[in-house]
Amino acid sequence: MSVEVEGDLIRFSYGGARACVARKGCTLVSFVVNGDEYLYLSEAANLSSKSSTPVRGGMPLIFPAFGKSYLESLKAVQQHGFVRNMAWDFVIAEVLTERTVARFRLSHRQCENEQQYISWCQFYGQRIEFELSMVFELFPDHITVDTSLVNENVSELEFQFLYHTYFRVPCVRDMYITGLKGAKYLDRLQTRYRLDTSPMLKVEEQTDKMYKLGEANREIDILSGNYNVRLTASENLSDLVVWNPWKEGAAKMKDFEPKSSYRNMCCVEFGAVEGTTLAKGGRWRCQHTITII
């Protein structure tokens, strides 16, 4: 059980679990339980807080925009937003009785030279004053990420949010995802809405699906032989994206290395991508847990 700060990386452990967070984007870049790594990280990923590119892999935080937004207030913000590009403040990490906790923070003051933030403010005609905080709680067999947003001054602040988690899997063709039966989804490659009627989802080609989760879809499992992960999230994260670039998509991303590693990863991402409105002075909070089963 320990906490180590190595430049822009904060490493912490508890029992047989270890985690590492990069200040760049407050990105969880490693989650290890009993010697096994459960997050994918590109060999070309740049973890420096001074890098101009986000981390390829781990768990980047998507805010305030997910994709090409239908929300007028977010149309000037690029896909996946800007907080994943920012150097967050590391507040504290401490070993407690049953877990190790690490806290990070980002405010509008750190974003004032970021062009996407400036463009976002222009829509509202004022500086957007906000504070984001992330708390990582590491247990022997799971990690919980708790995120909160405070809107300090805008009458109604619109945003999208997503934990863009890259999972490392032994072989994506042998992997299947359960817990999505009965959920409606948008196949973003075919621009078609469908209803998932299968007890399991296989990923055997380029995949980009966005699910709307119901009461029966609050527990998602990623299963592959001895590799078994359970995902849960707070009810306000009612969207789930499943993504794999496959061979063609990996070839187009210069920071995706090795190119063949699409075979050993799959993004399964809880979020609130349809848009959320937060009143002035309000606090929005969400939580996501990854458990090894």
What confidence category does residue 69 fall into, taking pLDDT thresholds of 50, 70 and 90? low
Q: How many CB atoms lie within 10 A of CB 258?
A: 12
pTM of the model: 0.96
Average pLDDT across the chain, whole number: 96
Q: Per-residue pLDDT tens for 212-243?
A: 999 999 999 999 988 999 999 999 999 999 99
Class assignment of domain 3-292? mainly beta
Question: What's the count of helices (H) and strands (E) in the chain, helices before strands?
Answer: 2, 22
Average pLDDT, integer, range 77-81 = 91
Task: Please tell me whether 78 is known to bind a ligand.
Answer: no
Task: Please tell me whether 99 is known to bind a ligand.
Answer: no
Task: Please tell me whether 109 is known to bind a ligand.
Answer: no
- H-helix or E-strand spanning residue 290: strand 283-292
31: closest CA among 187, 144, 182, 179? 144
Q: Per-residue pLDDT tens for 161-192?
A: 999 999 999 999 999 999 999 999 999 888 78
Q: What is the pLDDT of residue 109?
A: 97
Q: What is the pLDDT of residue 17?
A: 98
180 beta partners? none
* Domain layout of the chain by residue ranges: 3-292
Average pLDDT, integer, range 125-130 = 97
Residue with tokens 């305030």: 64
Instruction: Give the C-alpha separation, 107 to 86, whole Å.
Output: 10
- H-helix or E-strand spanning residue 99: none
118: tokens are 């400036």
Instruction: Give the C-alpha separation, 207 to 176, whole Å.
Output: 13
Instruction: Give the C-alpha separation, 40 to 258, whole Å.
Output: 12
Question: Rounded to an integer, what is the distance from CA 278 to the centroid of its chain?
Answer: 20
Annotated catalytic residues are 164, 269
